[in-house]
Amino acid sequence: MRKARIEGFLFLIAFGLTIPAANWLIGNAGTVCVPTGPCLIPVAPNIMAPSGVLMVGLALVLRDMVQRRLGVTWGVIAVLMGTAISAFLAPPSLVLASVLAFMVSEFTDLAVYTPLQKRGLVLAVLASGMAGLVVDSVLFLSIAFGSLDFLAGQIIGKAWMVLLSLPLMHWLRQYDEKRGLGAAT
């Protein structure tokens, strides 16, 4: 049990680090960096997205892992902590969009993950991640730019991270079963 709590706090730290990482990536890493805009990466043929979308997708998965190890209360604390970090790090012109998109998408993730985790970790992470990333993308683009022109790239980029995490979630579920652990909620 102690090891699971330590793992939970490591997931919490990693979750918190995805926010500054996303902000750094957007301004510094990509195959193309727009002079007065974000750095972009290809997420599908002929579809580009800001490089930070990768960290947003990962944040959704890590919040689920915080909840799995520490319980729903810590999942909520993670969302509130992440919202504060997002508000602090977002450029002034994007604070409202960043904060609302982050908070609502992470709470959407929590709302979907919580009942589904009893049916299976992989299903819960997949469904909650997809719900969260769609909400995040729609809210952020609508509030920040008043347009959904870049929705496909946002969704695809975030979905890659959720999908890439699924084999690890399968392994984690098996590992937890061997240790007699289940969901912490």
Residues of the chain with pLDDT under 70: 182-185
Task: Look over the chain and give the mean of its residue pLDDT values, rounded to a whole number.
Answer: 90
CA-based nearest residue to 111, from 60, 165, 184: 60
pLDDT attached to residue 183? 59
Hey, what domains does the chain have and what are their CATH numbers? 2-179 (1.10.1760)
Strand order in the sheet with 47-50: 32-33, 39-44, 47-50
Query: Coil, helix or strand for 91?
Result: coil
pLDDT attached to residue 94? 81
pLDDT attached to residue 182? 62
What pTM did the predictor assign?
0.87
pLDDT attached to residue 185? 45
Q: How far apart are CA 13 and CA 109, in angstroms?
A: 18
pLDDT attached to residue 3? 87
Looking at the chain, the whole-number percentage of residues with pLDDT higher than 70 is 98
